[in-house]
Amino acid sequence: MNTGRIRTKATMNKIKVEMGAVPETMLQTMYARARESQKPDAVIHDEKAIEIVA
């Protein structure tokens, strides 16, 4: 089980990223924070999450 590694493979104009469970969970959390931060009535505001996800 691969829980902490990130591997990338570049082909032409696409980059395929294979993540383990831990990095994938972190990405999902960051994406949710960025989406919440962009709402007009946001409970949290995370500029760094917005910057990374954009």
Band of residue 3 on the pLDDT scale cut at 50, 70, 90:
low
Tell me 18's DSSP state: E
- Helix runs in 1-54, H state only: 21-37, 47-53
Write the pLDDT tens digit of every residue in 16-37: 778 888 888 888 999 999 999 9
Stretch (H or E) spanning 7: strand 6-11
pLDDT higher than threshold 80 for residue 2:
no
Tell me 46's DSSP state: -
Q: Which of 23, 6, 24 is closest to 15 using CA atoms?
A: 6
Measure the CA–CA gap between 25 and 34, rounded to whole angstroms: 14
Average pLDDT in the 31-51 region? 95
